């Protein structure tokens, strides 16, 4: 445990949530002032920020001669892993089915869904160009956020508390990191973090949480795109 680790935790628990909230408020103010939403640009900026943080983290581990197994990069296998893999597959099929069902929504149902997004609607993918960029940020989020929050943060917290309390505290940080989504969004994201933490523990490696995170983001992005499809069809007409 070094000052390097404490500094990264400070960034994750305090600096990043505040900065994320401030930057998203500025983004919303620009939109309110008449500037068109540029979601691919926002995704690119998030992409660079996340990979930049992971680069610093891994560089520090290399300099300190730490084993990447500490972050959960170990060989996957065993009964626990395959049970968790089955649960991830089942959840993915449920999301795929839900996406197909979204195509059958009436216009009024789609409008109700879009209204429920609130300000977050300015961030989520609304057309195919957005979705292509969102797929890339989904892969980034799966790799970076799981390595950071389920790998590094859990490892750090294990020096101060038992494993399951560490899962809940790391999930709190994960939720705070999505502060731009509002209080409800932070709660939902925190609960997802608990689920990913459980996957990490029971599967025995970071690989399955990474895959699950990517699939969740990709499939949810696709579902949201379907909810906006009638808007884009009308605009094209």
Nearest to residue 223, comparing CAs of 64, 94, 68, 34? 94
Confidence check: pLDDT of 36 > 80: yes
Confidence check: pLDDT of 137 > 90: yes
* Size (the chain), residues: 237
User: How many Å apart are CA 204 and CA 139, to the nearest integer?
Assistant: 21
Spell out the domain ranges in the chain. 3-236
Neighbouring C-alpha atoms within 13 Å toward the C-beta of 114:
17
Q: Which residue has the higher pLDDT, 210 or 230?
A: 210
The verdict on pTM exceeding 0.85 is yes
The percent of residues in the chain predicted with pLDDT above 90, rounded, is: 59
Instruction: Give residue 8's pLDDT.
Output: 96
**Using the 8-state DSSP alphabet, how is residue 70 labeled?**
G
pLDDT per position as a tens digit, 76-114: 888 999 999 999 999 999 989 988 887 888 888 888 888
pLDDT band at 155 (very low <50, low <70, confident <90, very high): very high
Instruction: Give residue 236's pLDDT.
Output: 45
CB 237 within 8 A of CB 207: no
**Using the 8-state DSSP alphabet, how is residue 119 labeled?**
G
Strands, E assignment, the chain: none
Instruction: Give residue 226's pLDDT.
Output: 87
User: How many Å apart are CA 71 and CA 236, to the nearest integer?
Assistant: 47
Instruction: Give residue 232's pLDDT.
Output: 57
């Amino acid at each position: 445990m070094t000052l390097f680790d404490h500094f990264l935790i400070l960034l994750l628990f305090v600096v990043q949530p505040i900065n994320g909230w401030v930057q998203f408020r500025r983004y919303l103010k620009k939109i309110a002032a008449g500037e068109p939403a540029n979601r691919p640009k926002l995704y690119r900026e998030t992409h660079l920020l996340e990979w930049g943080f992971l680069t610093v983290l891994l560089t520090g581990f290399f300099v300190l001669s730490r084993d990447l197994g500490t972050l959960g990069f170990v060989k996957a296998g065993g009964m626990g892993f395959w049970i968790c893999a089955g649960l991830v597959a089942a959840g993915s099929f449920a999301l795929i089915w839900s996406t197909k069902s979204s195509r059958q929504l009436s216009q009024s149902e789609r409008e109700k869904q879009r209204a429920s997004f609130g300000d977050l609607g300015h961030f989520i993918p609304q057309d195919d160009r957005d979705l292509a960029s969102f797929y890339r940020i989904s892969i980034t989020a799966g790799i970076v956020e799981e390595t950071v929050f389920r790998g590094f943060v859990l490892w750090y917290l294990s020096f101060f508390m038992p494993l399951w309390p560490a899962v809940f505290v790391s999930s709190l940080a994960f939720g705070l990191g999505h502060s731009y989504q509002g209080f409800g969004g932070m709660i939902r994201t925190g609960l997802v973090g608990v689920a990913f933490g459980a996957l990490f523990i029971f599967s025995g490696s970071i690989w399955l949480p990474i895959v699950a995170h990517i699939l969740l983001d990709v499939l949810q992005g696709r579902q949201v795109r379907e909810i906006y499809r009638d808007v884009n069809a009308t605009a094209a007409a």
